Chains A and B, each alone.
Chain A
């Protein structure tokens, strides 16, 4: 069975500084990896995904993530944090198991606080 670990419950970063939200995964076979962001009392918004190809994936709002197969990691990064980036971030994995299989396994989430 697949699993996702987000080792930090909370990450604090000063506005303008680079940010990293960590994610490691465990899955049989090739992973499909996703990052979502959730604002209070809202659903999840898709940020980016890794399917194949270039290990550095660029997504919405200036976010990017780097797939590292040897370390089974998919850390979310942004060069310069904004106060508006403060939210709850979820990493998710889906193994390739044939067409029609869409079930995602989520990490527990990391709360990002960007301090002005």
Chain B
């Protein structure tokens, strides 16, 4: 199947700093990517939909000024956690659909995740 990478795999930062996480589709183009957050022993919570060439769409309750998303190209989306605080510590996962039919039947492939720890 298609491969999605994330970088870094884990990051530790001080409170108040900003952290950028990259999500890349390695062997296919993705006009849409998704960013999820996962708390321990819980399911994935969709944070936002990243759209190439346009603004991201945020889910209710997600602060768009805190979680900045930039979909710079057809293979790269970045999530920047601005002014991070300990409560932002979590596992962040991105995904991208592989456009075979161009519809919702396409499989979504996930990155390996980024473990963020804010001290």
Residues of A participating in the B interface, judged by any CB pair closer than 8 Å = 32, 34, 36, 41-46, 49, 51, 90, 94-104, 106-109
- When the two chains form the complex, which single residue of A34, A36, A98, A102 contacts B34, counting CB atoms closer than 8 Å? A102
Q: Is the Cβ of A102 less than 8 Å from the Cβ of B112?
A: no
**Which B residues touch A41, using CB under 8 A?**
91, 113, 115
Instruction: Tell me whether B54 is interfacial, beta carbon within 8 Å.
Output: no
- When the two chains form the complex, which single residue of A32, A42, A108 contacts B43, counting CB atoms closer than 8 Å? A108
Q: Is the Cβ of A32 less than 8 Å from the Cβ of B104?
A: yes
Residues of B participating in the A interface, judged by any CB pair closer than 8 Å = 1, 4, 6, 32, 34, 41-44, 46, 49, 91, 93, 95, 97, 102-113, 115
Q: Is the Cβ of B111 less than 8 Å from the Cβ of A102?
A: no
Alpha-carbon distance A42/B113, docked complex (angstroms): 6
Q: Is the Cβ of B43 less than 8 Å from the Cβ of A104?
A: no
